[in-house]
Amino acid sequence: MVLLVPPLTFGYTSSMKQYRLFDHTADIGCEIFGKTRKEIFAHSVAALCDVILY
């Protein structure tokens, strides 16, 4: 398994969840976590890459 997007850290512990995937009637759902808009955007990119590549 190769990660194209490295884990991101923005001054908090790396144990904080970046996102959560869940089943949705349309396709797939993704809940993004972050403290700032920048973190949420970066975590959404990581989630999108994981969904597309895996």
The count of structural domains within the chain is 1
Residue 49 lies in a domain: yes
Residue 36 lies in a domain: yes
pLDDT in tens, 29-38: 889 999 899 9
Distance CA 28, CA 36 (A): 24
- What's the distance, CA 43 to chain centroid? 4
Does the predicted model carry a pTM greater than 0.85? no
Instruction: Band the pLDDT of 5: cuts 50, 70, 90.
Output: low
Residue 3 lies in a domain: no
Q: What are phi and psi of 20, to 5 degrees?
A: -135, 130
- Say which residues have a Cβ less than 8 Å from residue 40's Cβ, sequence separation at least 6: 32, 33, 34
Domain residue limits at 25: 19-53
Count CB atoms within 10 A of the CB of residue 47: 20
Distance CA 29, CA 35 (A): 20
